[in-house]
Each structure stands twice: as structure tokens, then as C-alpha cells.
Amino acid sequence: MFTCRIFPTVDPNITVHPIFHSSKIDEESLIEGYFCSKKKVLFLYSYNIYDTNTLAMFDKHEDTLFEKGFLHFFSNLRDTSTRHLLFLFLVSHICVVTNASSSFDLNYIQLFKTLDSVRAKLQGSVAEVLKTVPGLPKDWLTLGRLCSPRVLFYFEQRPLVLDENLKSLQHLMEDQIYRLLRKCRVITNVCTNSLFAIPSNQEFVFFKPRQQDRFTFLLELLNDTFEIGNECPSDFREFLSQHITLAQTEGFSDNVGRHVGPSIFVLPPARVWFDAAFKLFDFFTNSPTNGLKGFQLLRSILDVEGQFSETRCLKVLPLALAAYQENLPSHYSSQYHENKKTQAKALLSSHGRGPAVQKFLGRLDTECDRFWRNGRRMCEFPSIIGNPCIQPVHRVHAEENSDSKLPVLPHMSGVRYVSACSCGRRQANREDPYDVEYANYGFYRLIEEECCGRLRHVTFPIFKPSSDHFEPANLKGASKSMHFTRDVEKLIAGTEDLSLGPDENEFPAMSVDHLSQVAADDHEESQTSLGKGEATEAIDEDNIMEIAGTHELPAVSTKDFSTTEYLPCMLHVNSPSGILPRYSSWSLVCLGSSSLYSHNAGLSDQPGFLAGSGFLLPWDIPVRLQHNESNGLDGRRAHNLGYSGKGKRVKQGQHEFTVKIFIGVEYECPRGHRFMSSSPGKILKATGAGLVKDSAQLITQNDVPIYLPCPCPYNRGGKALIAQLMRLHVVTPKAAVHVTIDPKVRPAPPPCPEFVTGFTEPIQLSPSSYWILRFPYVYEDENQIYTHPKENARAAQHGYLLKGTCGVMEFANE
């Protein structure tokens, strides 16, 4: 379709300005213009989706068609093209409608009715746009357009009739079109109320005399109309010129009836028209579809398939939401939320139809997210092990800078493990830890109240504040290469002496000598039974452990340590000096006399051990005592030296003998299964009669893995649980030597540091006693928390208890 615009006066500078030059115009729908200053006529040609040539260009949009579908893409193009057509009806005096055949296309009727309905809805908005144009005629502002444009119909194909009958056929087509338009109320008696008008006493139908393509037709039309390169008269030029001449002289008055008023016909100056046309074109091109009611109406009329799709999806949307909300718990995780959304989306996709499905899938996603976030979200804060918190979204502390409406609750994953206490005699359910203090200290303090709280404990070096105001030390500037020196070790060792009880406020402190002697006087005869009946063995000179001198813990004042800052992690070899942790992650407890352990019965009072694994390994150590001549031996010392751990009497004054010690490295899995290790990476298996053939030699002289796959009889999915080294059992002999322990643990591959207890020298264990060292449940340095590995296959190579943990030292002189 092309239109004619007539100007009364023209500024000569107008012709050199670009017309409708905008980068926002779609190439599938645009308006081309040609201005003739001689005739004072502007021709506008609408190139849109209603042309067959435009449809042939869809192959350039394969990606868009595949992503959004043909209906969605075509509806958008129809919307843009129809807006451009409405724009032409508002700024033109004459509109020429082309028909591709020799018959009238009835689809134009629906198009005309759509344009008229949208024009009525947008009349107020168009008037607001026109108010911004300076010098605009008042009639144009009132009507919202120049006039009720006169429409002419051009048929590109000539009917099969003789030339002398063509004029008659033309008049018959005019009558037919007029009756159709009147019957459909596209035109009325008052042309101001209609989209366009049809002349009552002039021809408005023209048949092309011969077959031509559209481009040639338009070119010849311009040549004929404006006498460019062609002096021959043209029937169409005469047909169009009569309407142009009438518009330039008198204007159009196409009202029908006796009592109708005059028609409004405006011929504005060219500059005013261009200013108004540009603003109206921008209004029709850039206004959103869901903005004004007129554009919403246009979309609903043109996009019938889309409306059906919207209606269908709108009906299915509540069903999909109901499917999402079905059988929901009070609060749930994000993974469960996504799974339910997937089910709801599948329901919507299966029952929804058309291009609106994608739009409603987005709405469904938003509605489900809103429903989940409205009080049904799970906290999901990961525990140290990695399990999410199953509580509703909450605050842990009341003073947190978060939503004050959230409740104050502790983190809880709902996962429970079975763990034994420090002495191993009692098992209890352990909550999945969310902080290192509960994992390594708080849980054992709670369970100790009912079990091993009254046993003898060793108190490890911890922070002692001098006031109520203290804070964690800032370790950002701490040197990672700093190691314990001998002086620093002595300072740490002097912080606290060995004491009874887990807390110095509950039990009185005891000296090192007292702790060493308190068990030596009990059940003296019981230790002599260890090793009786065994054959005498020759002592290998190469394996004799020489013990020279004695050892005492130094007494250093606690003023050398900070009383206002504490170490926010566990002690390790790279920790800065002068800072101690608030609590100890280690535990060393004495169960009592060594007679509590029977090598034939095994660990009968320790629950949870797998069958055949509850035994300690014997460790026979040949030792040689070296004394200064001035250090004489009293009767008691000579008696102890004169009795061998093998039950062999030696000559008086001989200082070589064998010490028998029982050692066990205990592993514990999350289900409470416990077992001993016979060698690094292997599980202890005693015979049915309780005979242990292995020795502790490989355990004491090699690095021991921290983690091993647990041989649980039942594992979910066939995946073995990972057991962790949790205790070191030591049964000391009744001899003139101290068994010492100095554990160093590297729970992960380098650069993970080596974690230590805080004592600078090995801890001396009293003779003829049963001691248990409990290791930390998790390990933490300044950078991270170290837990068990995720892969069972490489668990044994993940971390180690370094060799040199156990040793022997001479009994202190009295």
C-alpha cells in the first residue's frame, strides 16, 4: 500500500533531509518515501509483512524461528506492520490499497476494522503527542489526523474481459466494495467517524491494463504522474490526478446524508507535517505492547493463536502450581525445590499449547520461587562434614545483622553419628558438628559427665584470660614458615602442669611426680603376670634403646603468654608464639591400673569393636640404662632393674632389660564401629581363641594413616564408610621407665601443617597404667578445616599420624 500526502507550501530545504531514517526500523516492516517538490506531493510506500516478498525473507531468521517459534515471531511482525499502516492512515490524505489479483481481498475488511478499533483507543494518546508539535493546526489536533483519508483500490491483475467492458466491470467492482464496506460498517455516513472514506461521485477502483511486477508498476506510476521521462498519457495518472487536484483545491467532503456537518480537511505546512510525522512514527514504533490499551487491543486481535495459547496456559498454570505444592514439607531444601519445579514445569509443558508456554514457564518459575521463599526455605548452611542444615532459615545469634523476623535457632543437619567418649567406655549419638569447638571439645565434655569425668586427665595448654575482654588473634600477618623453637616449646610447656579432671575448677591440680607415682603403688603384683610363661629370648644389641638421664617438665610462668588474645584455631608447628587456644582438642585420660587390660580377653569393656579387633598389640623394647657413677640405685630401683619384662632374672648391676608395652591405634566410623590396626593400613584380626600374632613394631616405627575404609557389614549403596583414627591405647609396664607419647598429626596432604598437643616435650605416662589418648575429631588451622576425604580409595593416603609418637624414658630419681 502507498499513500499520497499533499502540501500547500514547501520549504526547499525539506527535499535534502533524510526521510524516516531510523536504525530502530525492522527491515521486514518499513516505510519508504519520495517527495516531489514540483507537484507538492509526498508518496509513502509501506513495505510490510502483508507482502508476499517479505515472507520470502524468513530464511534469514532461522535461529529466532527455532528458538521462539513461527507464531511468536510472525505475531510480532504483524503487530509492527499494522502499527505502520495505522500511522499512514493518520498522516495521509489519499491511501491506495493494492490487490494482487483481479478480485477484492476480503481479508482487508478485518484489517480495516482492526485499524479503526485501535485508532479509537489511541486517539487520546495521539492527541497528547501532537500537542508537542509547534504550529500544529487546531483541527488536526482535534481530529488526531489530517482528514478521513480517501481510499483507492488498485488491482494488479486485469480480469478476462474485453477492453470496452473494462469500465463497466470497474463500476461494478466499486458498487460491490462499497456495499461490503457499508455492510461491515467500515465506512459510515459521517466520514469523521470512520477509518477512511470512499468518494461518492468519483472513481476509486482501477484495473492495471497489463501484467507488471510491483516495482515496475511503482516506477511507471511515478514517471506517469510526474511526467519523468515519459510524455505519453496514462490512464492511472488521470485516475490519481483527479483526486490529488481535488485535495489541493477544495479538499475532500465525503460525508453522505442530509444532516451531516462539513468534513475536516487540513493542509499543514511541510515542516509542521514532518515534525508531527516523526513524533507519531516514534510513538507507534517504540510504544510497548503491554502499555496502552490500544496496543493491547491490537495484539489481542492480530494474535489469535497467541490468545488461545495464553488462555490455555492460564488455565493450566494453577494446576502446575498445585502439583508443585502437593505434599510439601513445612520447609525444604533448594534441591527439593528444584525437583518439584521440574515436575510442575513438565505438567505445564505437556498440557500447555502455543507460543505462550515459554512465558508461562517463566511465571511458574517465579511463583514457585516466591512460594518457597515465603517461609519455606531451609537454612542449608553446611556443617563441617558438609551436610546442610534442615532448620528453617534462621539466625544463629540474636545480634546478627540480618532479618530481625527470623527466629534464633542453632544449626542442625539432622545427621547423627555414633561416637565413644574420651575413654571409649561409653557410646552416644553425636550431632553433626557445625563448629570445631563442639566437635573436639563440647561433645566430649557432655558425655564425660556420665562416664570418664572422674578419671585422671591431663590438662593441655590453653588460653587463660586476665579479664572479661579478650578477642581472637589476627593471624593474617602470621608467618607460615615459623616453627617451634626450643625456647618457645619450653614456654608452652610451662603454662600448665598435669592435673586431675577436665577442668581445674572441678578437680585440684596435681604435680607431674604425683601423677607418675599414683598408679605405681596400685596392684604391684598384677604387672608381674604380664609375660609369664613366655620363653626367654636373647636380646638383640642393635635394637637396644639406650636411656640416658632423666626428664622433668620445666616450670615457666604463664606471663609469657597473651592473656587478651587467643588462638582461633588448633595448635600446629607453624602457629605463632605466645598464643594458645581457648580449649584443647586433645584428651589424655588414665583408666587405672594396667591390670584392666587382659591380653587374652581383649577390650571387654569397650563397646562397638568389630569381632576379633578389640585387642592391643604387644611391643617388646630392649633398653639399656646409663647412669653416672654418683647416681646410686636404692633397693627398689635395683629390684625393678633386676626383673625383665620377659620374666628373666638378670645379674645384679646389669642395666639391660626388655620392656613389654601394649599399644593399640583405634579407628572409629560414623556408625560407631571401632577396630584396631595391626599395621599401617591393615585391620587387626585375632584368632577365635583371642590370639594376636602381630606386634606393634610396625605401628610405632611408621606413619599411621588417619583414615581407613571401615569394614562395616552393611553399607548403603555398597560404598564403605571412612573410619578415623580417634584413640591411642597405651598399657605401660611396671618398670623403672616412663612410656612417653608425642603425637604429631598431618590430616591432609601438604601444605597441611602438623598439628601438635602444645607440650614441648613428650608426655610421660605413669607406669603400670592404662592410658588413652583421644585425637581431635576435626583439625583446623588459620585457613581451613580438615575433615575426612571424599574418596574411599585414597583415604589411607590422605593423612598420617607421624612416626615417633611413642617412646621410653628412664624413671625419675627420688
**H or E, element range at 705:** strand 704-705
Residue of 43, 30, 91, 84 lying closest to 218 (CA atoms): 43
pLDDT at position 220 is: 62
Q: Which amino acid is at 345?
A: K
pLDDT at position 405 is: 81
For the chain, give every domain's residue range: 17-214+235-287, 298-373, 584-625+655-711+718-809
- For cell 463497466, the residue is 168
> Distance between CA atoms of 594 and 597, rounded to whole angstroms?
6
Residue 319 dihedral angles phi and psi, to the nearest 5°: -65, -40
pLDDT at position 80 is: 87
Q: Answer yes or no: pTM beyond 0.75.
A: no
pLDDT at position 526 is: 33
CB atoms within 10 A of CB 72: 20
**Percentages (nearest 5) of helix, strand, coil residues in the chain:** 35, 20, 50
CB atoms within 10 A of CB 813: 11
The region, left, alpha or beta by phi > 0 then psi within -120 to 50, assigned to residue 689 is alpha
pLDDT at position 647 is: 41
> Distance between CA atoms of 467 and 738, rounded to whole angstroms?
39
CB atoms within 10 A of CB 740: 18
> Distance between CA atoms of 301 and 111, rounded to whole angstroms?
10
11, 36, 201, 168 alpha-carbon torsion, rounded to 10°? 180
Cis peptide before 751 (omega within 30 of 0): yes
- For cell 495464553, the residue is 310
- For cell 569397650, the residue is 606
> Distance between CA atoms of 327 and 344, rounded to whole angstroms?
13
Q: Are strands 704-705 and 800-801 parallel, antiparallel or unpaired?
A: antiparallel
Quote the cell numbers at residue 77: 511482525
Q: What is the CA radius of gyration of the chain?
A: 49
pLDDT in tens, 138-191: 989 988 898 999 999 998 888 877 778 888 888 999 999 999 999 999 998 888
Q: Which long-range contacts (CB under 8 A, 24 or more apart) does 342-350 make?
A: 344/320, 344/368, 345/320, 347/316, 347/319, 347/320, 347/323, 348/313, 348/316, 348/317, 348/319, 348/320
3 state DSSP class of 38: coil
Quote the cell numbers at residue 485: 623453637
pLDDT in tens, 611-656: 889 999 999 888 766 554 434 333 333 233 333 334 444 445 556 7
pLDDT at position 238 is: 84
- For cell 596400685, the residue is 522
Q: How far is CA 495 from the centre of its chain?
A: 47
Provide the total of helices (H) and of strands (E) in the chain, helices listed first.
20, 28
Q: Which long-range contacts (CB under 8 A, 24 or more apart) does 424-431 make?
A: 424/603, 424/606, 424/666, 424/674, 424/727, 424/772, 425/451, 425/452, 425/591, 425/605, 425/606, 425/607, 426/450, 426/451, 426/452, 426/607, 427/607, 427/608, 427/672
> Distance between CA atoms of 73 and 76, rounded to whole angstroms?
5
Residue of 331, 769, 739 lying closest to 521 (CA atoms): 769
The length of the chain is 814
> Distance between CA atoms of 713 and 722, rounded to whole angstroms?
13
pLDDT at position 650 is: 46
pLDDT at position 640 is: 33
CB atoms within 10 A of CB 402: 12
Q: Are strands 456-458 and 471-472 parallel, antiparallel or unpaired?
A: unpaired
What lies within 8 Å, CB to CB, of 93 at 6+ separation is: 3, 4, 5, 6, 146, 147, 149, 150, 247, 252, 265
Below-50 pLDDT ranges, the chain: 10-26, 228-233, 477-557, 628-651, 814
pLDDT at position 792 is: 80
pLDDT at position 601 is: 86
The DSSP result for 558-619, as a single string, is GGGS-SSEEBSS--BTTSPTT--BSS-S-EEEEEEEGGG-BTTTBSTT-TTBPTT---PEEE
The DSSP result for 450-494, as a single string, is TTTTTSEEEPPP----SSS--EE---TT--TT----HHHHHHHHT
Strand order in the sheet with 745-746: 704-705, 800-801, 745-746
57, 61, 62, 63 alpha-carbon torsion, rounded to 10°? 180
Contact 7, 270 (CB under 8 A): yes
